[in-house]
């Protein structure tokens, strides 16, 4: 895949070297090194220029980056996913449950990476898989996939600097507090290759913000729409709920960090594990065959155009069936 980017040098960048200018945009050192063998990769005013070359106001810098071959060991295969947005620099896709992001020992094929590899193979385009944010295999919803080295480098920098804002929806057990923040380090559980835990000594810092959208009974329809709209949205239980009925909460969650299984571990830690999460809530309530977690919204700045980007993904059918309050259709567009 080839991408050509053109920049007109402004007054505030006059006097910078090509290297300094591109690094300021978010180009990694690896990208700059990869362009050195190609004399046509970096052009100033139509002529090749060294990375040390100086720039002046009004100069036109033309950058060419390309992938000559596709990702090794990622075999194109028909794997389901929905494209929400696509341009020359990125894809925003919505992933179904049961699909891992990329091949691993436990799932060497039939991953999102395999499906996207097929998508580009059918177009005859070499493609290297570069997924920016991650989701567990059974978590649904939005992901950003970069289409070239430059967009990947800039988006990865933005993710590290917490400039990509991710909003999740989760169904948790019990009545979640109206709002709060979990500050608890997450680390690998010593007895497991997969499971994570709160590790106050050796874990990585992890911060999750949550807000309760409503509370509702498990598998008990609520018929009074007016009561639900005024009561559930304010975080109060509808009067239709029996005192003995199991109660669930729909939570909106925002991540400051992106540790493996962070939301699942944090919600279990505060006593409100995700519905269906058999890893962190093995004795939990029935109602859904996976952890009830959905990547709902993504907000970020486009890596090249610098335009604000906002995307939403409808609540999937299995979670929608559990969230049995009439107003939840507002979560589906």
- Rounded to whole angstroms, the Cα distance separating 48 from 50 reads 7
Percent of the chain with pLDDT over 70: 89
- Rounded to whole angstroms, the Cα distance separating 120 from 194 reads 31
The answer on pLDDT for 324 being more than 50 is: yes
pLDDT tens for 248-297 read: 999 999 999 989 999 999 999 999 999 999 999 998 888 899 999 999 99
CATH number for the region 166-331 comes to 3.30.2350.10
188 burial via Cβ count (<10 Å: 0-12, 13-18, 19+): middle
Chain centroid offset of residue 268 CA:
21
pLDDT at 236: 40
pLDDT at 67: 83
Domain 2-66 has CATH 3.40.640.10: no
Taking the domains of the chain in order of start, what are their residue ranges? 2-66, 82-161, 166-331
pLDDT at 220: 43
pLDDT at 244: 61
The answer on pLDDT for 95 being more than 60 is: yes
* Exposure b/e, 218-251, CB count within 10 A at least 16 = b: beeebeeeeebeebbeebebbebbeeeebbbbbb
pLDDT-derived band at 330, boundaries 50, 70, 90: low
Residues marked active site are found at 136
| Fold category of 82-161 in CATH | Pseudouridine synthase (3.30.2350)
pLDDT at 231: 37
- Rounded to whole angstroms, the Cα distance separating 163 from 263 reads 19
Structure tokens at 321: 């069936």
Prediction pTM value: 0.85
Same fold, 2-66 and 82-161: no
């Amino acid at each position: 895949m080839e991408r050509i980017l053109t920049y007109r040098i402004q007054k505030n960048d006059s006097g910078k070297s090509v290297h300094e200018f591109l690094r300021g945009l978010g180009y990694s050192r690896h990208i700059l090194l990869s362009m050195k063998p190609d004399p046509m990769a970096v052009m100033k005013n139509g002529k090749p220029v060294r990375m040390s070359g100086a720039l002046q106001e009004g100069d036109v810098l033309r950058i060419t980056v390309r992938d000559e071959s596709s990702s090794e060991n990622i075999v194109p295969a028909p794997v389901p996913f929905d494209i929400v947005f696509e341009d020359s620099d990125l894809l925003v896709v919505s992933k179904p449950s049961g699909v891992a992001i990329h091949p691993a020992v436990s799932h060497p094929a039939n991953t999102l990476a395999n499906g996207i590899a097929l998508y580009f193979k059918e177009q005859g385009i070499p493609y290297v898989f570069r997924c920016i944010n991650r989701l567990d295999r059974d978590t649904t919803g939005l992901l950003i996939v970069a289409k070239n080295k430059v967009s990947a480098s800039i988006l990865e920098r933005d993710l590290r600097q917490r400039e990509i804002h991710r909003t999740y929806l989760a169904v948790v057990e019990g009545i979640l507090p109206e709002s709060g923040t979990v500050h608890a380090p997450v680390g690998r559980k010593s007895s497991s290759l997969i499971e994570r835990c709160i590790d106050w000594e050796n874990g990585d810092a992890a911060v999750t913000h949550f807000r309760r959208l409503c509370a509702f009974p498990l598998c008990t329809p609520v018929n009074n729409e007016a009561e639900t709209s005024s009561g559930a949205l304010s975080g109060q239980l509808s009067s239709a709920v029996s005192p003995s009925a199991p109660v669930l909460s729909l939570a909106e969650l925002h991540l400051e960090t992106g540790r493996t299984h962070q939301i699942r571990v944090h919600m279990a830690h505060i006593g409100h594990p995700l519905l269906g999460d058999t890893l962190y809530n093995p004795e939990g309530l029935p109602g859904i065959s996976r952890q009830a977690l959905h990547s709902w919204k993504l907000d970020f700045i486009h890596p090249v155009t610098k335009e604000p980007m906002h995307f939403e993904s409808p609540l999937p059918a299995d979670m929608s069936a559990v969230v049995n309050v009439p107003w939840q259709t507002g979560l589906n567009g």
